[in-house]
Amino acid sequence: MDSRDIKESTLALSLVTVGNLITGFVLGYSSPLLSLLPALFLLVPPSIGLRGNIYASLGSRLNSYLHTGRISPKFEITKEYSENLVSSTFLLLLFSMTSGFMAAMMAYFMGLTTFGGEEISLVMLSFDMITISALSGILSATLMIPSTLVISLGSYSYGWNPDNLTAPFITLIGDVVTLPILFLSAKVIFGIPVGVRIFIFLSLLFFTAVLGFITYYGQMSMEKHRIARRIIRESSWVLLACVILDVFAGSVIGIRAEELIIIAGLLTVIPSFLEDGGAIGGILSSRFSSLLHLGVLKPNIKPPLEILKVFGVFHLIGLFIFALIGVLAQTLNIFIGLQTISTLELVLITIVAGQILLVPLNLMSYYFSILSFRKGLDPDNIGIPLITSIMDVLGTLCFIGTLIVFGVI
Protein backbone atom coordinates (compact mmCIF):
# COMPACT_ATOMS: atom_id res chain seq x y z
CA MET A 1 0.00 0.00 0.00
CA ASP A 2 1.83 3.13 -1.20
CA SER A 3 1.55 6.74 -0.03
CA ARG A 4 -0.92 7.54 -2.80
CA ASP A 5 -3.32 4.84 -1.58
CA ILE A 6 -3.00 6.14 1.99
CA LYS A 7 -3.73 9.71 0.90
CA GLU A 8 -6.71 8.68 -1.25
CA SER A 9 -8.17 6.47 1.50
CA THR A 10 -7.69 9.08 4.23
CA LEU A 11 -9.17 11.84 2.07
CA ALA A 12 -12.16 9.68 1.14
CA LEU A 13 -12.83 8.64 4.75
CA SER A 14 -12.46 12.25 5.95
CA LEU A 15 -15.00 13.44 3.41
CA VAL A 16 -17.30 10.59 4.40
CA THR A 17 -17.02 11.66 8.04
CA VAL A 18 -17.83 15.28 7.20
CA GLY A 19 -20.71 14.25 4.96
CA ASN A 20 -22.12 11.98 7.63
CA LEU A 21 -22.69 15.04 9.79
CA ILE A 22 -25.81 15.49 7.68
CA THR A 23 -26.96 12.00 8.61
CA GLY A 24 -26.08 12.59 12.25
CA PHE A 25 -27.99 15.86 12.21
CA VAL A 26 -31.04 14.16 10.68
CA LEU A 27 -30.94 11.36 13.26
CA GLY A 28 -30.50 13.73 16.19
CA TYR A 29 -33.07 16.21 14.88
CA SER A 30 -35.58 13.41 14.21
CA SER A 31 -35.59 12.16 17.81
CA PRO A 32 -39.23 13.40 18.23
CA LEU A 33 -40.30 11.22 15.26
CA LEU A 34 -38.43 8.27 16.78
CA SER A 35 -40.27 8.95 20.04
CA LEU A 36 -43.54 8.86 18.08
CA LEU A 37 -42.80 5.44 16.58
CA PRO A 38 -39.84 3.82 18.46
CA ALA A 39 -39.87 0.86 16.06
CA LEU A 40 -38.28 3.15 13.44
CA PHE A 41 -35.02 2.79 15.38
CA LEU A 42 -34.85 -0.79 14.10
CA LEU A 43 -35.14 0.36 10.48
CA VAL A 44 -32.21 2.78 10.61
CA PRO A 45 -29.26 0.30 10.37
CA PRO A 46 -30.83 -2.00 7.73
CA SER A 47 -31.97 0.96 5.62
CA ILE A 48 -28.53 2.55 5.65
CA GLY A 49 -26.83 -0.83 5.32
CA LEU A 50 -28.77 -1.96 2.27
CA ARG A 51 -27.78 1.10 0.22
CA GLY A 52 -24.14 0.56 1.05
CA ASN A 53 -24.26 -3.22 0.68
CA ILE A 54 -25.94 -3.24 -2.71
CA TYR A 55 -24.43 -0.20 -4.41
CA ALA A 56 -20.92 -0.51 -2.94
CA SER A 57 -20.96 -4.10 -4.28
CA LEU A 58 -22.18 -2.77 -7.63
CA GLY A 59 -19.33 -0.27 -7.64
CA SER A 60 -16.84 -2.95 -6.64
CA ARG A 61 -17.98 -5.17 -9.53
CA LEU A 62 -17.63 -2.26 -11.94
CA ASN A 63 -14.14 -1.59 -10.55
CA SER A 64 -13.13 -5.21 -11.19
CA TYR A 65 -14.55 -4.97 -14.73
CA LEU A 66 -12.53 -1.79 -15.29
CA HIS A 67 -9.28 -3.27 -13.93
CA THR A 68 -9.66 -6.41 -16.04
CA GLY A 69 -10.79 -4.59 -19.21
CA ARG A 70 -14.31 -6.05 -19.41
CA ILE A 71 -15.79 -2.56 -19.64
CA SER A 72 -14.48 0.85 -20.65
CA PRO A 73 -14.82 3.91 -18.38
CA LYS A 74 -17.54 5.19 -20.69
CA PHE A 75 -21.12 4.24 -19.94
CA GLU A 76 -22.62 2.10 -22.70
CA ILE A 77 -25.73 -0.09 -22.85
CA THR A 78 -24.05 -3.47 -22.49
CA LYS A 79 -25.05 -6.56 -20.55
CA GLU A 80 -22.41 -5.80 -17.90
CA TYR A 81 -24.09 -2.49 -17.17
CA SER A 82 -27.77 -3.35 -17.73
CA GLU A 83 -27.80 -6.62 -15.80
CA ASN A 84 -25.89 -5.11 -12.89
CA LEU A 85 -28.20 -2.09 -12.60
CA VAL A 86 -31.50 -3.98 -12.91
CA SER A 87 -30.50 -6.79 -10.55
CA SER A 88 -29.21 -4.30 -7.97
CA THR A 89 -32.50 -2.38 -8.02
CA PHE A 90 -34.51 -5.59 -7.61
CA LEU A 91 -32.38 -6.68 -4.67
CA LEU A 92 -32.81 -3.28 -3.01
CA LEU A 93 -36.61 -3.46 -3.25
CA LEU A 94 -36.83 -7.11 -2.21
CA PHE A 95 -34.68 -6.70 0.88
CA SER A 96 -36.18 -3.34 1.80
CA MET A 97 -39.47 -5.16 2.20
CA THR A 98 -37.74 -7.98 4.05
CA SER A 99 -36.06 -5.57 6.46
CA GLY A 100 -39.34 -3.77 7.10
CA PHE A 101 -41.03 -7.05 8.04
CA MET A 102 -38.15 -8.27 10.20
CA ALA A 103 -37.87 -4.91 11.97
CA ALA A 104 -41.59 -4.99 12.76
CA MET A 105 -41.33 -8.51 14.17
CA MET A 106 -38.31 -7.59 16.29
CA ALA A 107 -40.09 -4.45 17.51
CA TYR A 108 -43.08 -6.58 18.51
CA PHE A 109 -40.93 -8.93 20.60
CA MET A 110 -39.15 -5.96 22.19
CA GLY A 111 -42.44 -4.28 23.05
CA LEU A 112 -41.83 -1.30 20.73
CA THR A 113 -45.39 -1.36 19.36
CA THR A 114 -46.61 2.11 20.24
CA PHE A 115 -47.51 5.00 17.98
CA GLY A 116 -47.90 8.32 19.70
CA GLY A 117 -47.95 6.50 23.03
CA GLU A 118 -50.81 4.18 22.02
CA GLU A 119 -50.51 0.47 21.26
CA ILE A 120 -50.92 -0.65 17.63
CA SER A 121 -51.40 -4.17 16.27
CA LEU A 122 -48.57 -6.27 14.84
CA VAL A 123 -50.35 -6.39 11.45
CA MET A 124 -50.59 -2.61 11.23
CA LEU A 125 -47.02 -2.16 12.42
CA SER A 126 -45.72 -4.68 9.85
CA PHE A 127 -47.78 -3.13 7.05
CA ASP A 128 -46.47 0.37 7.77
CA MET A 129 -42.86 -0.66 8.31
CA ILE A 130 -42.73 -2.64 5.05
CA THR A 131 -44.30 0.22 3.08
CA ILE A 132 -42.01 2.85 4.61
CA SER A 133 -38.91 0.72 3.96
CA ALA A 134 -39.83 -0.15 0.35
CA LEU A 135 -40.92 3.39 -0.53
CA SER A 136 -37.69 4.85 0.80
CA GLY A 137 -35.78 2.16 -1.11
CA ILE A 138 -37.23 2.97 -4.53
CA LEU A 139 -36.82 6.71 -3.96
CA SER A 140 -33.18 6.35 -2.93
CA ALA A 141 -32.41 4.15 -5.97
CA THR A 142 -33.02 7.12 -8.28
CA LEU A 143 -30.04 8.82 -6.65
CA MET A 144 -27.82 5.84 -5.86
CA ILE A 145 -27.61 4.40 -9.38
CA PRO A 146 -26.26 7.50 -11.18
CA SER A 147 -24.00 8.27 -8.21
CA THR A 148 -22.41 4.81 -8.32
CA LEU A 149 -21.74 5.08 -12.06
CA VAL A 150 -20.23 8.55 -11.77
CA ILE A 151 -17.94 7.61 -8.86
CA SER A 152 -16.68 4.32 -10.28
CA LEU A 153 -16.24 5.34 -13.92
CA GLY A 154 -15.22 8.91 -13.15
CA SER A 155 -12.48 8.02 -10.66
CA TYR A 156 -11.01 5.47 -13.07
CA SER A 157 -11.11 7.97 -15.94
CA TYR A 158 -9.17 10.50 -13.88
CA GLY A 159 -6.44 7.99 -13.10
CA TRP A 160 -7.43 7.33 -9.50
CA ASN A 161 -7.83 3.85 -8.00
CA PRO A 162 -11.62 3.40 -7.72
CA ASP A 163 -11.12 0.73 -5.03
CA ASN A 164 -10.01 3.50 -2.64
CA LEU A 165 -12.94 5.80 -3.43
CA THR A 166 -16.01 3.83 -4.49
CA ALA A 167 -17.01 2.19 -1.19
CA PRO A 168 -16.49 5.31 1.00
CA PHE A 169 -18.27 7.72 -1.33
CA ILE A 170 -21.14 5.38 -2.15
CA THR A 171 -21.48 4.76 1.58
CA LEU A 172 -21.54 8.52 2.14
CA ILE A 173 -24.19 9.16 -0.48
CA GLY A 174 -26.25 6.25 0.84
CA ASP A 175 -26.04 7.70 4.34
CA VAL A 176 -26.91 11.23 3.27
CA VAL A 177 -29.97 10.25 1.24
CA THR A 178 -31.23 7.28 3.29
CA LEU A 179 -32.36 8.82 6.58
CA PRO A 180 -33.99 11.95 5.12
CA ILE A 181 -35.86 9.76 2.61
CA LEU A 182 -36.71 7.17 5.31
CA PHE A 183 -38.16 9.76 7.67
CA LEU A 184 -39.89 11.58 4.80
CA SER A 185 -41.47 8.27 3.73
CA ALA A 186 -42.58 7.68 7.34
CA LYS A 187 -44.22 11.11 7.51
CA VAL A 188 -45.97 10.51 4.18
CA ILE A 189 -47.28 7.10 5.24
CA PHE A 190 -48.43 8.39 8.63
CA GLY A 191 -50.28 11.28 7.00
CA ILE A 192 -52.37 9.44 4.39
CA PRO A 193 -55.54 7.31 4.66
CA VAL A 194 -55.26 3.55 5.07
CA GLY A 195 -56.70 2.94 1.59
CA VAL A 196 -53.92 4.94 -0.03
CA ARG A 197 -51.34 3.10 2.08
CA ILE A 198 -52.69 -0.22 0.79
CA PHE A 199 -52.48 1.02 -2.82
CA ILE A 200 -48.86 2.12 -2.38
CA PHE A 201 -47.97 -1.19 -0.70
CA LEU A 202 -49.56 -3.30 -3.47
CA SER A 203 -47.97 -1.16 -6.20
CA LEU A 204 -44.51 -1.60 -4.71
CA LEU A 205 -45.08 -5.32 -4.24
CA PHE A 206 -46.23 -5.74 -7.87
CA PHE A 207 -43.32 -3.71 -9.26
CA THR A 208 -40.81 -5.76 -7.24
CA ALA A 209 -42.31 -9.04 -8.46
CA VAL A 210 -42.27 -7.94 -12.12
CA LEU A 211 -38.71 -6.64 -11.86
CA GLY A 212 -37.58 -9.89 -10.24
CA PHE A 213 -39.20 -11.99 -12.97
CA ILE A 214 -37.62 -9.92 -15.74
CA THR A 215 -34.22 -9.99 -14.06
CA TYR A 216 -34.07 -13.70 -13.28
CA TYR A 217 -36.12 -15.27 -16.04
CA GLY A 218 -36.10 -12.60 -18.74
CA GLN A 219 -34.04 -12.53 -21.89
CA MET A 220 -31.13 -10.74 -20.24
CA SER A 221 -30.50 -13.66 -17.91
CA MET A 222 -30.51 -16.16 -20.77
CA GLU A 223 -27.36 -14.78 -22.35
CA LYS A 224 -24.10 -16.62 -22.11
CA HIS A 225 -22.69 -15.03 -18.98
CA ARG A 226 -25.95 -14.74 -17.04
CA ILE A 227 -24.58 -11.90 -14.95
CA ALA A 228 -27.92 -10.98 -13.38
CA ARG A 229 -28.65 -14.55 -12.27
CA ARG A 230 -25.24 -14.89 -10.68
CA ILE A 231 -25.59 -11.58 -8.85
CA ILE A 232 -29.01 -12.54 -7.45
CA ARG A 233 -27.96 -16.10 -6.63
CA GLU A 234 -24.75 -15.11 -4.83
CA SER A 235 -26.04 -11.90 -3.26
CA SER A 236 -29.45 -12.98 -1.95
CA TRP A 237 -28.29 -15.18 0.90
CA VAL A 238 -25.63 -12.63 1.81
CA LEU A 239 -28.13 -9.76 1.86
CA LEU A 240 -30.59 -11.83 3.91
CA ALA A 241 -27.88 -12.43 6.49
CA CYS A 242 -27.03 -8.72 6.35
CA VAL A 243 -30.64 -7.68 6.97
CA ILE A 244 -30.84 -10.00 9.99
CA LEU A 245 -27.59 -8.56 11.33
CA ASP A 246 -28.69 -4.96 10.71
CA VAL A 247 -32.05 -5.48 12.38
CA PHE A 248 -30.17 -6.94 15.34
CA ALA A 249 -27.94 -3.84 15.33
CA GLY A 250 -31.09 -1.72 15.38
CA SER A 251 -32.41 -3.71 18.33
CA VAL A 252 -29.20 -3.00 20.27
CA ILE A 253 -29.83 0.71 19.72
CA GLY A 254 -33.52 0.22 20.48
CA ILE A 255 -32.76 -1.31 23.88
CA ARG A 256 -31.05 1.97 24.82
CA ALA A 257 -33.54 4.13 22.93
CA GLU A 258 -34.71 6.06 25.98
CA GLU A 259 -31.17 7.07 27.07
CA LEU A 260 -30.13 7.92 23.51
CA ILE A 261 -33.19 10.12 22.98
CA ILE A 262 -32.46 11.95 26.25
CA ILE A 263 -28.76 12.49 25.33
CA ALA A 264 -29.60 13.18 21.68
CA GLY A 265 -26.03 14.32 20.99
CA LEU A 266 -24.96 10.67 21.04
CA LEU A 267 -27.23 9.98 18.08
CA THR A 268 -25.17 12.31 15.89
CA VAL A 269 -22.15 10.02 16.35
CA ILE A 270 -23.80 6.73 15.37
CA PRO A 271 -24.11 7.17 11.56
CA SER A 272 -20.52 8.37 11.10
CA PHE A 273 -19.11 5.73 13.45
CA LEU A 274 -20.92 2.82 11.80
CA GLU A 275 -20.45 3.98 8.23
CA ASP A 276 -16.77 4.88 8.55
CA GLY A 277 -16.20 1.38 9.90
CA GLY A 278 -18.13 -0.03 6.94
CA ALA A 279 -16.28 2.26 4.52
CA ILE A 280 -12.87 1.09 5.79
CA GLY A 281 -14.05 -2.51 5.38
CA GLY A 282 -15.31 -1.63 1.90
CA ILE A 283 -11.94 -0.16 0.89
CA LEU A 284 -10.08 -3.23 2.12
CA SER A 285 -12.54 -5.71 0.62
CA SER A 286 -12.66 -3.95 -2.75
CA ARG A 287 -8.87 -3.74 -2.81
CA PHE A 288 -8.40 -7.42 -1.94
CA SER A 289 -11.01 -8.41 -4.53
CA SER A 290 -9.23 -6.52 -7.32
CA LEU A 291 -5.86 -7.98 -6.29
CA LEU A 292 -7.35 -11.50 -6.36
CA HIS A 293 -8.91 -10.96 -9.80
CA LEU A 294 -5.58 -9.63 -11.11
CA GLY A 295 -3.66 -12.59 -9.63
CA VAL A 296 -1.46 -10.32 -7.49
CA LEU A 297 -2.85 -11.64 -4.20
CA LYS A 298 -2.89 -15.40 -3.62
CA PRO A 299 -5.85 -16.73 -1.59
CA ASN A 300 -3.69 -18.13 1.20
CA ILE A 301 -5.06 -18.64 4.70
CA LYS A 302 -2.07 -16.91 6.29
CA PRO A 303 -2.05 -13.20 5.40
CA PRO A 304 1.26 -12.16 3.81
CA LEU A 305 3.43 -9.50 5.44
CA GLU A 306 2.23 -6.82 3.03
CA ILE A 307 -1.38 -7.40 4.08
CA LEU A 308 -0.43 -7.17 7.77
CA LYS A 309 1.22 -3.83 7.02
CA VAL A 310 -2.01 -2.67 5.40
CA PHE A 311 -3.89 -3.60 8.59
CA GLY A 312 -1.43 -1.52 10.64
CA VAL A 313 -1.79 1.45 8.31
CA PHE A 314 -5.56 1.43 8.74
CA HIS A 315 -5.21 1.40 12.53
CA LEU A 316 -3.19 4.61 12.18
CA ILE A 317 -5.72 6.08 9.75
CA GLY A 318 -8.43 5.04 12.21
CA LEU A 319 -6.88 7.11 15.01
CA PHE A 320 -7.39 10.23 12.94
CA ILE A 321 -10.77 9.28 11.47
CA PHE A 322 -12.47 8.23 14.70
CA ALA A 323 -11.11 11.26 16.56
CA LEU A 324 -12.50 13.41 13.73
CA ILE A 325 -15.89 11.75 14.19
CA GLY A 326 -16.00 12.77 17.85
CA VAL A 327 -14.86 16.36 17.20
CA LEU A 328 -17.25 17.01 14.31
CA ALA A 329 -20.21 15.36 16.05
CA GLN A 330 -19.63 17.49 19.14
CA THR A 331 -19.34 20.63 17.00
CA LEU A 332 -22.70 19.78 15.47
CA ASN A 333 -24.22 19.11 18.90
CA ILE A 334 -23.13 22.50 20.20
CA PHE A 335 -24.25 24.28 17.03
CA ILE A 336 -27.81 22.91 17.09
CA GLY A 337 -28.08 22.77 20.89
CA LEU A 338 -28.43 19.02 21.47
CA GLN A 339 -27.91 17.51 24.94
CA THR A 340 -24.44 15.90 24.98
CA ILE A 341 -21.43 14.91 27.09
CA SER A 342 -18.01 16.58 27.35
CA THR A 343 -15.93 16.89 24.17
CA LEU A 344 -12.89 15.06 25.57
CA GLU A 345 -15.03 12.17 26.76
CA LEU A 346 -16.85 11.87 23.44
CA VAL A 347 -13.61 11.90 21.43
CA LEU A 348 -12.01 9.29 23.72
CA ILE A 349 -15.08 7.08 23.34
CA THR A 350 -15.02 7.23 19.54
CA ILE A 351 -11.26 6.51 19.41
CA VAL A 352 -11.39 3.56 21.83
CA ALA A 353 -14.48 2.04 20.23
CA GLY A 354 -13.01 2.56 16.75
CA GLN A 355 -9.70 0.88 17.50
CA ILE A 356 -11.51 -2.11 19.00
CA LEU A 357 -13.73 -2.30 15.92
CA LEU A 358 -10.77 -2.28 13.48
CA VAL A 359 -9.33 -5.54 14.82
CA PRO A 360 -12.11 -7.86 13.55
CA LEU A 361 -12.73 -5.60 10.54
CA ASN A 362 -9.22 -6.13 9.13
CA LEU A 363 -9.42 -9.89 9.49
CA MET A 364 -12.92 -10.21 8.04
CA SER A 365 -12.01 -8.04 5.02
CA TYR A 366 -9.19 -10.42 4.17
CA TYR A 367 -10.79 -13.77 4.96
CA PHE A 368 -14.19 -13.06 3.40
CA SER A 369 -12.40 -12.08 0.17
CA ILE A 370 -10.04 -15.04 -0.07
CA LEU A 371 -12.50 -17.69 1.12
CA SER A 372 -15.20 -16.61 -1.34
CA PHE A 373 -12.58 -16.54 -4.12
CA ARG A 374 -11.39 -20.03 -3.20
CA LYS A 375 -14.99 -21.29 -3.36
CA GLY A 376 -15.40 -19.92 -6.89
CA LEU A 377 -17.60 -17.02 -5.80
CA ASP A 378 -17.10 -13.41 -6.78
CA PRO A 379 -15.74 -11.62 -3.67
CA ASP A 380 -17.30 -8.39 -4.96
CA ASN A 381 -20.71 -9.97 -4.23
CA ILE A 382 -19.73 -11.36 -0.83
CA GLY A 383 -17.18 -9.28 1.03
CA ILE A 384 -18.63 -5.76 1.20
CA PRO A 385 -22.22 -6.72 2.14
CA LEU A 386 -21.14 -9.12 4.88
CA ILE A 387 -18.50 -6.79 6.27
CA THR A 388 -20.65 -3.66 6.37
CA SER A 389 -23.54 -5.47 8.05
CA ILE A 390 -21.39 -7.29 10.57
CA MET A 391 -19.69 -3.94 11.19
CA ASP A 392 -23.10 -2.45 11.96
CA VAL A 393 -23.61 -5.03 14.70
CA LEU A 394 -20.04 -4.95 16.01
CA GLY A 395 -19.87 -1.17 15.64
CA THR A 396 -23.08 -0.72 17.59
CA LEU A 397 -21.89 -3.12 20.30
CA CYS A 398 -18.48 -1.39 20.47
CA PHE A 399 -20.00 2.08 20.69
CA ILE A 400 -22.79 1.22 23.15
CA GLY A 401 -20.40 -0.96 25.16
CA THR A 402 -17.82 1.83 25.38
CA LEU A 403 -20.53 4.27 26.47
CA ILE A 404 -21.48 1.83 29.25
CA VAL A 405 -17.84 1.36 30.33
CA PHE A 406 -17.39 5.14 30.45
CA GLY A 407 -20.57 5.36 32.52
CA VAL A 408 -22.42 7.56 30.04
CA ILE A 409 -25.50 5.34 29.75
d(CA 260, CA 409): 8
Say whether 114 sits in a helix, a strand or coil.
Answer: strand
Query: Kind and range of the H or E element at 89?
Result: helix 79-110
Upper half-sphere CA count for residue 178 (Cβ side, 13 Å): 28
d(CA 328, CA 343): 10
Please provide the DSSP assignment of 209-275 as one string: HHHHHHHHHSGGGGSSS-HHHHHHHHHHHHHHHHHHHHHHHHHHHHHTHHHHHHTGGGTTHHHHHHH
Positive or negative: CA dihedral 360, 15, 313, 325 = negative
Show the domain range for 132.
Answer: 3-405
Tell me the whole-structure pTM to 2 decimals: 0.68
On whether the CB atoms of residues 355 and 315 are closer than 8 A, the answer is yes
Q: Please report, for residues 83, 87, 228, 242, 379, the alpha-carbon distance to residue 216 in angstroms, rounded to integers and kept in the order given.
A: 10, 8, 7, 21, 21
Which pLDDT does position 31 carry in this prediction? 65
Which pLDDT does position 396 carry in this prediction? 83
Q: Is 4 exposed, middle or buried (0-12, 13-18, 19+ CB in 10 A)?
A: exposed
| Cα 265-268-271 angle, rounded to 5 deg | 150
* Helix 44-68 and helix 269-294, axial crossing angle in degrees, nearest 10: 30
Number of domains forming the structure of the chain: 1
Residue count of the chain: 409
Which pLDDT does position 323 carry in this prediction? 92
Upper half-sphere CA count for residue 20 (Cβ side, 13 Å): 34
pLDDT in 10s for each residue of the chain, 409 residues: 567 777 777 877 777 777 767 777 777 666 666 667 778 878 887 887 787 778 877 877 777 777 676 666 676 666 667 777 888 888 889 999 999 999 888 888 888 777 766 777 888 888 888 999 999 988 888 888 888 888 877 777 766 766 666 666 777 777 778 878 888 888 888 778 888 888 888 998 998 888 888 776 665 444 544 777 777 777 777 788 878 888 887 777 666 666 666 676 777 788 778 778 877 887 787 777 777 777 777 877 887 788 888 888 888 888 888 998 889 888 888 887 877 888 899 999 999 999 999 998 888 888 888 888 887 777 766 666 677 777 778 888 888 889 888 888 7
On whether the CB atoms of residues 129 and 104 are closer than 8 A, the answer is yes
Which pLDDT does position 250 carry in this prediction? 76
d(CA 229, CA 84): 10
Upper half-sphere CA count for residue 321 (Cβ side, 13 Å): 34
Closest CA to 129 of 98, 154, 85: 98
